[in-house]
Amino acid sequence: MCGIGGIIKVTPAGEAAAAALAVPPREAIPEAWLDVLDESIRHRGPDGQGRFRDRVVRADGSVVDVALVHRRLSIIDHGGGAQPMVSVLGGPELGGPALRAGRAASPARGAMRPLLFHGKPNAAVVYDAVRGTGPGNTGILPADSSGGTGVPPMDSQEHGQDAHATDLVAVVFNGCIYNHRDLRRELQSAGHEFRTDHSDTEVLLHGWREWGERLFKNLDGMYALAIWDRLAASLVIARDWFGEKPLYTIETDRGGAGVKALCTAVPGLLNLGAHGVQGVDAMSPMGVQSISPWVKFGWNQVPPAWNPVELCIGSSQFLSGQTPSDAPISSDRFAHLSAAMNPIGSTLSVDALDRMLEASVAARLESDVPIGCFLSGGIDSSLIARYAHLTRPDVAAFTVRMPTARFDESPVAGRVARHIGMRHQVLECQPAPAADLVALIQQLGLPFGDSSLLPSHWVSRAAREVARVALGGDGGDELFMGYDRHKAIRWLRWLDALPRESRRALAGAVAADANPRSTRTRLSRLINASAHDGYKELVAIFAAPFDEHLGLRGQGEHGWNAIQHFGMTCEGSTDRFGALNASTAMALRFDRLFYLPCDILRKTDTASMSVALEVRAPFLDHTLALAAMNAPVSCLMPRGQRKGLLRQVARKYFPAEIVDRPKQGFAIPIGEWFRSDYGGMKQLLMDHLNSAEPWGPPRLGIELNMKFVRQMVDEHMNEQRDHSQRLYMLLVLSIWAKWMGSLGG
């Protein structure tokens, strides 16, 4: 687990390439650029840092410069897992796995000896030349703290006549590969020799040589990675199926050379503009054309700045503009995942689900550092804790005591732990909501509007005192239909039978009251959803007509992309048990393809990695997830009960008072805190919304209806209406916009 970054610069053949070769590589990609990327991911990796540089000249004469950056949180194989990790094959007499992967023999000519640095987190960056391991022999470089390997340099006679043909692969990787031991055995049987004891990173290097891009189909894990293939002069990036680990890219131009950058964090990319990377302009008004979905939902697939783009979940992409076969390739497993989300397949039995969950938890318990389980008292975390204790009795469960009594689940969690016989720790929460919120939004670099980010951060911070790895329950609600809105889908279907004019008239007649959980408020929201954009409105913070009053719909449609058109056709989606229709399939697709990665998993990664805690999600195991996505709704929700199938599994191990306990959710009383100024939240809200530029400098172009904003503030403070999440979203937007305005000084 860690953070990664990188830059690749491709200069076309001709005079430009000749001029590029006259520039030292550390000037072609300045060290200051790498410093910017490194600083944005520093918090994710307190245990080590590393950098890698290379330059090659392609067969067509173009020059490719590449640099990779890594920050390490050491979880597996402390001694052998340092990154960037580099594998070298000797001279021109290549063979075996490299050729079986279909890679070209020598499309690139070296123009420098690659450079490598491994060091402590605060060490000065001092590179050493990457050195080979002998002709025709594959090896992972066993670097010491300075990057030295103690083996002959690549340009020595020991490596043959054409030292520049040396086949080198380098990787930076964020995440964990759960099936790395199985893949290691398979690769060893194919002739690969491993140098590390049990590093999952090394599996990526050998896997790339053996399988090429097919490697990503073989991985079961959470990951964002970049692999530099020197022989092909290509840089490929990839991201896991569900998007547990973030990865953003930008593409720009610098003096006729194409420059592309990647990073775990948006701020690293946006801050490049202040350090001479042309075309990266955080102040461009183009960016706010995509602000509407962020404010409406609190999240989106597209960062609200025109340049950074998030790599699609479950996909891989070549950033160099050239692949080993000289043709651009982008492998999109997102489409495969979407195709699997027509829940019309065979039923999933209680016993089969039980076995899958046990296996998934067991696969996620490998760690060379202390590991534990988040335990809230709900059935998701209770089951995970039970399976973890079964596999590793030394694993502890921990619960954080929340500052508000009615949101504190530690007493219930304690009963679950005693029932399991599991060691349980109740950790004290030390919230500083105002200061923490500002820090988290600036660290994330996105106007992320889910207020559960704060308690998730506090839980992670407390857990980090006793463990470096935690198992969490992400994905359980999305895969097994655990939200109240999943029960409301049937009501939406019935309301949709009415003329839209009738539904809009009914929506006007049934207004919400001051209690967000009252029957009247819930009914009002349901009718409003039917009268407007359907199921998506049940997920929205600024559901219609609030979005219209705020002025969101007047800022253009750019950025709505798949959220606006998330696959509104599910032909053939009929449940053979009679409980499913196309609208249900579309709702589940929306939750699993968009809400889960863009909200839930982004929240978890941000909250946990802000304190360098690795969180693993057993519910997102490939086999388990695909089985759930293919199961009919009548199987997942028997008799319309939320998460009914999962509850049947839980009943095998827990009493009814645990299994049938009402869903509490991971929430904080943010609305009350705005009224009482708990932790300085009211002051922070007023300071931002009453400032001269609440939405940042005018150049950002964010214009919202301030009259309506002030009306919401007054209604909320006077307890006439509950605008808790809407005011939180506006506060986050203001924090983010002011941060955007500060970029570049």
Tens-place pLDDT, residues 691-708:
999 999 888 888 899 999
Please check the confidence at residue 99 and state whether its pLDDT lies above 50. Answer: no
- pLDDT tens-place string over residues 296-351: 999 998 888 666 788 888 888 888 755 443 333 444 555 556 555 655 567 899 99
Residue of 76, 80, 84 whose CA lies nearest to 1: 76
Residue 397 β-bridge partners: 373, 424
- pLDDT tens-place string over residues 676-688: 999 999 999 999 9
pLDDT for the residue numbered 254: 58
- Cα 524 from Cα 256, distance rounded (Å): 56
Count of C-beta atoms within a 10 Å radius of residue 710: 12
Domain ranges of the chain: 2-333, 345-480+592-659, 669-745
- SS3 percent helix, strand, coil of the chain, rounded to 5, is 45, 15, 40
Identical fold, 2-333 and 345-480+592-659: no
Extract the tokens encoding 408: 């504190």
Query: What is the 3-class SS of 315-352, one letter each residue?
Result: EEEECCCCCCCCCCCEEEHHHHHHHCCCCCCCCCCHHH
- Range name among 238-252, 273-287, 392-406, 438-452 with the lowest pLDDT average: 273-287
Q: State yes or no: cis peptide before 84, omega within 30 of 0.
A: yes
CB 724 within 8 A of CB 516: yes
Burial 200-227 (b: 16+ CB within 10 A, else e): bbbbbbbbbbbbbbebbebbbbbbbbbb
- Cα 524 from Cα 527, distance rounded (Å): 5
Burial 432-444 (b: 16+ CB within 10 A, else e): ebbebbbebbebb
- Cα 113 from Cα 326, distance rounded (Å): 24
pLDDT for the residue numbered 589: 87
- Cα 172 from Cα 260, distance rounded (Å): 16
- pLDDT tens-place string over residues 180-221: 999 999 999 999 999 999 999 999 999 999 999 999 999 999
Please check the confidence at residue 570 and state whether its pLDDT lies above 60. Answer: no
Name residues whose C-beta falls within 8 Å of residue 43's C-beta, 6 or more positions apart in sequence: 3, 443, 609, 610, 611, 612
Extract the tokens encoding 689: 């919304």
Q: In which band, very low, low, confident or very high, does the pLDDT at 148 lie, cut at 50, 70 and 90? A: very low
- pTM score, whole prediction: 0.90
- Cα 647 from Cα 640, distance rounded (Å): 12
CB 476 within 8 A of CB 622: no
Query: What is the 3-class SS of 536-556, one letter each residue?
Result: HHHHCCCCCCHHHHHCHHHCC
CB 424 within 8 A of CB 375: yes
Classify residue 518 by its DSSP letter. Answer: S
Extract the tokens encoding 733: 């937007």
Dihedral in degrees, nearest 10, Cα atoms 110, 158, 145, 209: 60
- pLDDT tens-place string over residues 483-538: 999 988 888 888 888 888 888 788 777 777 777 777 888 888 888 888 888 899 99
- In the chain, the percentage of residues whose pLDDT exceeds 90 is 56
Enter the CATH code of domain 2-333: 3.60.20.10
- Cα 353 from Cα 551, distance rounded (Å): 46
Tell me if the domain spanning 345-480+592-659 has CATH number 3.40.50.2300.
Answer: no
- Helix 519-531 and helix 500-509, axial crossing angle in degrees, nearest 10: 150
Residue 401 β-bridge partners: 428
Mean pLDDT of 625-652: 93
- Cα 449 from Cα 431, distance rounded (Å): 18
- pLDDT tens-place string over residues 153-191: 333 333 332 344 478 999 999 999 999 999 999 999 999
CB 265 within 8 A of CB 248: yes
Classify residue 43 by its DSSP letter. Answer: G
Mean pLDDT of 231-236: 92
- In the chain, the percentage of residues whose pLDDT exceeds 70 is 81
The residue length of the chain stands at 745
Look at strands 108-110 and 248-254 and give their pairing.
Answer: unpaired
pLDDT for the residue numbered 717: 97
